[in-house]
Structure 1
Amino acid sequence: MTVLPDILRRRATEQPEGTAYIFLGEDGEEKTSITFAGLDARARSVAAELSRHCEPGDRALLIFPQSLDFIVAYFACLYAQVVAVPVNPPRRTRIQDATRSIIADCEPAVVLTVSGMAALGSTVESAHRIAVDEVPGGDFAPVPCTAETLAFLQYTSGSTAEPKGVMVSHGNLMANEEMIRRAFGHDERSTVVGWAPFFHDQGLIGNVLQPLYAGATAILMTPAAFIRRPLSWLTTISRYRAHTSGGPNFAFDACVAAAARGVPELDLSSWRVAFNGAEPIRAETLRRFADTFGPYGFDEKAMYPCYGLAEATLIVSGSGKGRGPRTIEADVTELRRGRLVEAAGGRTIAGSGVVLPGEDVRIVDPATHEPCAEGEIGEIRVAGDHVTQGYWKRPEAAEFTGSHLRTGDLGALLDGELYVVGRLKDLIIIRGRNFYPQDIEHTAQQAHPALRPGGCAAFSVPGAAGEKLVVVAEIRREYRHEADTPALAGTIRAAVLREHEVSAGDVLLARVNQLSRTSSGKIRRAAARKRYLESGFDV
């Protein structure tokens, strides 16, 4: 079968001067760019250097800032049949604990980086270090591979456990890239704008590999540029007439918040696929974004909720180009019983799109493994060529046993739409009723402006009369000395009781950054629960 290295070689031959990637600096101006032929030539030079220090199948750790050098290194690994392992770049010269776990797990033979970061590779004593930006020109004949050949290891973010290396084959990549191309309606004219980190599946597979697969141009920003100035993302979409761009739900909220301080001149009428995924999708976020940016040409039907996970390469479901999002008002009582039933005035839940061609998605009772009926909430399970080969060094992983991937996510299918409601491991069960922690966290965070957005964890622990609900909420720095903490805790209790009809057994108001997060910013609820039971929080 045709694999991604074949596609790059073909584009380098047929579209040598076609622009593959344009990279923007922190100021939004073009910093560097590369053609298909230029990428092919640089990747072959680095592949030649790689082949001098490792064998096909060896692992190469990719430690890079957000840059075109990362993309060169990644394709060099594909050419040399070396297994790329992208990791979170160090912060202030410190290697994160999660990265150290990844290094110990994958045992890299080589560290690929840039000259300014080369010294940080010393954390891998046994690995040879190659500064990609210093490799001289050279030629290399790509090592032939098949659909089953391992392409790279995509380490999970570790929101419920330690990071695990998802083994993504060339066949997995090709299957999922084709699913994305068809679902998003991409062709060679479909400019893509992205800022997500390259060491995450959304940034790598969606923003870097998908444009090359489709023959389109990618305009790439740094995550830091977006975080500092969220509207620079929309300015870039407007400037380059992007067809596709997206991010997690918080990114759309950040733009709405920034718009309150003023909106620059924008024309978002070219934006046809505004994908929203990687974290729970909020219906109010979709509505607020469409209302705020509709006057600037944004079409609410371009909003594209989707669902995916690294174990399925990337995408599993999507709303459909031009269809817009679907929402349901769900009966709260039935939701706690594990059923999705429409009821006026119920809790609004956003759908994550429809099942895509080439896969089989089922909702299964996680205890009995029996299929769930329409509207019943169970574990989402997925089968298809995009489902990956398992976890590195974990051949008996439960997620990959059986005919379908066990995602660990809870959801329901209703009228063809997939609704994702939570994580199986995070589900809170109190007196026989189901509560989804992200819903309780959302309610708590909305209870008072002193609480930090995205800084809340809800979980249960054993109590004297059964499971007890615990809510840990971080207080914004500017409120730390003025907040009336007993009153604030009472406000949270009242909001949770009013909205969810459950009492919080313990509410802790913590200092900023007390809650452990993954590299993508997700709260690690299991780690929060462990800390609560063992050492406690600085409150």
Structure 2
Amino acid sequence: MALGSLLPELLPGGPGRTPLIERVARWAREKPDAPAYTFVDYSIDPSGAHVTLTWAETDRRARAMAVALRRAAGPGERAALLLPQTLEYMMAMLGAMHAHVIAVPLFSPDLPGHAERLIGAYTDAEPAVVVTTRGALPHVEKFLADHDVPQPKELVFADEVDVALAGRWEDDPVAFDDLAYLQYTSGSTRRPAGVEITHGNVTANAAQLWAGWAPEKPDPELVSWLPLFHDMGLISTMALPLVHGDHAIYTDPVSFIMNPMRWLRLISERPGKNVYTAGPNFAYEYVASQATAEKIAELELSGLTTCLNGAEPIRPSTLTTFADAFAAAGLRPGAQAPGYGLAEATVFVTAAAENVPPKVVSADRDALTQGELRLCEGGSERASALVSCGRPSGQIVAIVDPETRSELPDGQVGEIWVHGPNVAAGYWRNSERSQDTFGGELPDSGGLPSRPWMKTGDYGVVHEGELYVTGRIKDLIIVDGRNHYPQDIEVTVQEAHPAVRPDHVAAFALPGEETERLVVVAERNRRVPLGRLDVHEVETAVRGAINVQHEMSVHEFVLIEPGGVSRTSSGKIARAATRRRYLDGELATTAARLASRG
């Protein structure tokens, strides 16, 4: 049975049909001195230098940026954002949305680990203008000189735009169907593609996220460190506060990685507020691993209303670890809200209900791989733990048989399809892929909209009115006619031996003569000294565990050095990219490292 319904206010003629960007001016009129966006800069002050813009200042700066952009680019041309995550980044996004210039939220070229993604996205977008800062200019100039990428007509320095330009802006209302920005996917299975996000899409998804995640509560505030070039960071940090004119406090991802406790300290500093935050699974695992009794004693988290957990597979153990670690600091049992989303739906699709502890079910692995959710005892070796991602808000989710295009009943595994005003129209300059992804139709809709449906490429199942995501269709491993979800195998591998680094395992298939062959690539755990490491022992343990728990053999197991497993910009395991590097012989193996030591 399909989940969800459309929000009446977002339907034609509804009160929510005001483009989100126009609300900046509204809040500037109604609450000019209220804080809008605060950036916390740890690069100039280890304790965090807070720089805040009021709604009146945000309105003026965004309009000034719009004037600067319109001088450099015409309506419909692209502006690539190649600058650090500061207040200037936020103003560049808002200014582009005012100016009818299509923003391309990217990042400064000196950000490590993302060079290939930057080249691909920048080249695909063909920007007419690059927005950067004077400090980032050397990195931008080097990027443009070193790579075969389109050269922009002009550079706009976001930190040098004269605020007085705001007085020269002439209102040019945007339409719901106008493109607001290109959200480049993180590319876990293929090259990044630019999802065409319209003003209608971002307006709808912000309203949906608010309705499902942050319903009417006094003094709500958003605290985030998520990258603004990523869909979850952009919508939660930029768009969500625009719905009701609330306050967003954010820092940059590097500051979080260097000291994850900064995230929780920022939340702890908001007494008397209803604080919302979001992050991928690894972030909650990471911050819990760095917590000590002394650090926890300094926190006050009773005001933390919701922690949205999304953007990558959610592990039940992470939910437990985070809850246990910070219960003493006042973390509410129902604060954690697992969710599901993707760039093609702007970002937000479903989330668990507030004030309810996360739901986890144990599913029989064999039945699951045959397309059926059958509950079993949690301690069973045949059990797969699935986390509920809750219900949709303002959109409709259906589980569909991808072969017959028919809706499946509850308890049956199929492809997750999404319908709603937040679903993008297509991919930038890729009509064939757009039709394949966004052109889903239900021949026998049974009261549901017949089209258009967005095919997510994810397997899922509905149980007791909530969505459970089971895996990526393209990642499915089929050996001897049986389906295996790679994440189940990866959990088995990391639990097989302490020398395997947790959450840094990639399982994938290679073609064989009669059936697919399983290959497992795992990073070495730095906590296990090289001098005491026996690679053969690790391999034997992994092969044995997979044979017992999954009844399959491993074609090849490769233990590699830390940092070798590819990941997407949102932190997901990039199995396809790891597979390519494995086939190309690019992985630095631990065996080779040991051999070089003599």
The TM tier, using the shorter chain, reads: over 0.9
Q: Tell me if 1:496 matches 2:532.
A: no
In structure 1, what residue type is equivalent to 2:385? T
The residue matched to 1:116 in structure 2 has which SS? coil
Asked if the contact 1:44–1:141 (Cα under 8 Å) also holds between the matched residues in 2, the reply is no
Q: Which has the larger displacement, 180-189 or 360-369?
A: 180-189
Change (3 A) 1:112 1:271: same
Q: Which has the larger displacement, 480-489 or 446-455?
A: 446-455
Asked if the contact 1:121–1:129 (Cα under 8 Å) also holds between the matched residues in 2, the reply is no
Asked if the contact 2:358–2:388 (Cα under 8 Å) also holds between the matched residues in 1, the reply is yes
Counterpart for residue 197 of structure 1: 227
Change (3 A) 1:513 1:185: closer
Counterpart for residue 358 of structure 2: 325
The residue matched to 2:418 in structure 1 has which SS? strand
Q: Tell me if 1:169 matches 2:198.
A: yes
Change (3 A) 1:94 1:201: closer
**Would you say how many aligned residue pairs link Structure 1 and Structure 2?**
538
Change (3 A) 1:151 1:443: same
In structure 2, what residue type is equivalent to 1:369? R
Query: Distance in 2 between the 1:221 and 1:494 partners?
Result: 45
Structure 1, residues 382-421: CA drift from partner, whole Å, max 9, x if none?
0010101110001222101132100001100111110001
Q: Tell me if 1:513 matches 2:550.
A: no
Q: Which has the larger displacement, 304-313 or 205-214?
A: 205-214
The residue matched to 2:334 in structure 1 has which SS? helix
Shift of 1:324: 2.7
Counterpart for residue 247 of structure 2: 217
Counterpart for residue 11 of structure 1: 27
Counterpart for residue 231 of structure 1: 261
Counterpart for residue 213 of structure 2: 184
The equivalences for 1:278-427 within 5 A come to 278-345=311-378, 346-356=383-393, 358-397=394-433, 398-402=436-440, 403=451, 404-427=453-476
The residue matched to 1:263 in structure 2 has which SS? helix
Change (3 A) 1:95 1:293: closer
Higher relative contact order (CA 8 A, sep 6+): 2
Query: Distance in 2 between the 1:88 and 1:227 partners?
Result: 17
Q: Tell me if 1:151 matches 2:188.
A: no
Structure 1, residues 419-445: CA drift from partner, whole Å, max 9, x if none?
001101001111222211122112212
The residue matched to 1:504 in structure 2 has which SS? coil
TM-score (norm 1): 0.96
Shift of 1:120: 3.3
Query: Distance in 2 between the 1:262 and 1:28 partners?
Result: 17
Counterpart for residue 89 of structure 1: 108
Change (3 A) 1:167 1:481: farther
Asked if the contact 2:471–2:485 (Cα under 8 Å) also holds between the matched residues in 1, the reply is yes
Change (3 A) 1:266 1:126: closer
Structure 1, residues 470-498: CA drift from partner, whole Å, max 9, x if none?
10011135644542111111122222233
The residue matched to 1:493 in structure 2 has which SS? helix
Match of 1:135 among 161, 164, 167: 161
Match of 2:304 among 271, 284, 304: 271
Asked if the contact 1:22–1:30 (Cα under 8 Å) also holds between the matched residues in 2, the reply is no
Query: Distance in 1 between the 2:562 and 2:159 partners?
Result: 38
Structure 1, residues 106-152: CA drift from partner, whole Å, max 9, x if none?
11000001111123333152331011111122121232111101100
Q: Which has the larger displacement, 365-374 or 467-476?
A: 365-374
Asked if the contact 1:80–1:142 (Cα under 8 Å) also holds between the matched residues in 2, the reply is no
Structure 1, residues 502-526: CA drift from partner, whole Å, max 9, x if none?
2222101112333332223322211
Q: Which runs of 5+ in 1 are unaligned?
A: none
Q: Which runs of 5+ in 2 are unaligned?
A: 1-16, 145-149, 441-450, 590-598
Counterpart for residue 243 of structure 1: 275
Shift of 1:202: 0.8
Change (3 A) 1:482 1:317: same
**CA RMSD across the alignment:** 1.8
Change (3 A) 1:272 1:92: closer
Structure 1, residues 178-234: CA drift from partner, whole Å, max 9, x if none?
111111234561111001000001111012220122211111022122212222211
Shift of 1:465: 4.5
Counterpart for residue 257 of structure 1: 289
In structure 1, what residue type is equivalent to 2:501? R
Counterpart for residue 151 of structure 2: 125
Counterpart for residue 63 of structure 2: 44
Shift of 1:40: 1.1
The percent identity for this pair of structures is 40
